[in-house]
Structure 1
Amino acid sequence: GKKDILIDYGSGKGRVSFFLAYQTRCQAIGVEYDRRLWAKAMANGQMAASRQRVTFVLTDAVEYEIPPQGNCFFFFNPFALHTLKRVLGKLFDAHYQAPRPMRLFFYYPYEETEAFLTHHPNLVVEDVIDCRDLFDEDDDREKILVLRLRD
């Protein structure tokens, strides 16, 4: 919603950031490591209807300092598990420094990543949204795993 701050890790060309900012009216921050993709997102922002609610940061996800208002986090086919663990450490630290409800969305997760997340002591699975009906193939990874930080 309007009061949410979405962090889109590995934002690429910015499509998810723009779409979610448009659909939900949230503020979105795209975090991208690849300069070419970041530049494309910036160019895409010139024409996006939601451009006033979206910003992009060129940095490594592990180095990104989470704003105290950040409460929603989107990961598309998340990076390697060792990197994800470091990013989660930053999320847990941010929650400790400024407690607030935090929700994490993982689209198209790897099996190893899903197992790690669903068994993590600081995370609670809220929902698994099956997205297989959107595509012709029957791919078990076509889902959005929704988690929240444990209180």
Structure 2
Amino acid sequence: MKEQDHDRLLRIKTEGVREWQHQSSHYNRYEATPYSALEILFDEYDEWKSTDRFVDFGCGKGRFPFYVYHHLHASAVGVEMNGQLYQEAMENLAKYMERAKSSRASIQFEHIFAEGYDIEKEDNRFYFFNPFSLQIFQKVIDNILRSVEDHPRSVDVILYYPTSEYSHFLEIQTVFELWKEIRLPGLYDENNNERFLVFRLD
């Protein structure tokens, strides 16, 4: 299924790349994870449960949260600091709700900087597609670890197109351990970054 066809199925618009007018060294451009990559991820990453709650940091227009809710029937939160993208995510949510059978879907969006998001005790799956610098990533991971100290639970950090900075930080400076690597067939041979890394803390 093509990208636009999958968007059409969900009645949302998440395609395109968004460069920032005033580019910051801390925040990267918006680009949604390809649907084909998400399909491969959840074919191989099959330990999720409907009671899980996924948090997508730098969610943009919300593709990942909509995919998780629609296909996995799990709750999802999108965290986005850019006001325009947040507004587009909320517009997508309104359109999605028009077609949803229930009056309320377990999808929510927060207009806030990632490091300011208050990690809830229900949050246990965290998704990153290189949304920001290592410094901000470190702050978010510290927030996750503090939440786990207060409310012990198993949590996963899922990286798409992982930078060496992100993965090295998790492996060397945290208690997370690399649990699974998921390579994208065909693409990984040409680009070693075309993969998912799942880090786990039990």
TM-score normalised by the chain length of structure 2: 0.69
Q: CA deviation at 1:137?
A: 7.9
| Residues 137/129 of structure 1: CA separation in 2 closer, same or farther (3 Å cut) | closer
Between the aligned residues of both structures, percent identity stands at: 30
Rounded Cα–Cα distance in structure 2 between residues aligned with 1:63 and 1:121: 20
Question: Which residue, 46, 56, 73 being the options, matches 1:8?
Answer: 56
- What is the CA-CA distance between 1:139 and the residue it aligns to? 1.4
Q: 1:78–1:106: 8 Å Cα contact kept in structure 2?
A: no
Structure 1 gap ranges (5+): none
**Structure whose alpha-carbon radius of gyration is higher:** 2
Equivalent residue letter for 1:95? V
| Structural mapping, 1:22-37, within 5 Å | 22-37=70-85
Q: Distance in 1 between matches of 2:158 and 2:80?
A: 17
Instruction: State the number of aligned residues.
Output: 149
* Poorly superposed stretches of 4+, deviation over 3 Å: none
Q: Judging by fraction of residues, say which structure has more helix.
A: 2
C-alpha root-mean-square deviation of aligned residues, in Å? 1.8
Gap regions ≥5 residues in structure 2: 1-48
Counterpart AA for 1:87? V
2:145 to 92, 96, 104: 92
Q: Does 1:139 align with 2:139?
A: no
Q: Deviations over 1:93-124 (max 9, x none)?
A: 00000001101101111122222223334111
On the 8 A contact 2:188/2:194 being kept in 1, the answer is no
Question: 1 CA distance for matches of 2:162 and 2:185?
Answer: 13
SS of corresponding position for 1:46? helix
| Partner amino acid, structure 2, of 1:56 | F
Alpha-carbon displacement from aligned partner over 1:13-59 (angstroms, at most 9, x marks no partner): 00011001111111001000000000000011122266712100000
Which one of the candidate residues 87, 90, 98 is aligned to 1:39? Answer: 87
| Residue 183 of structure 2: aligned partner | 130
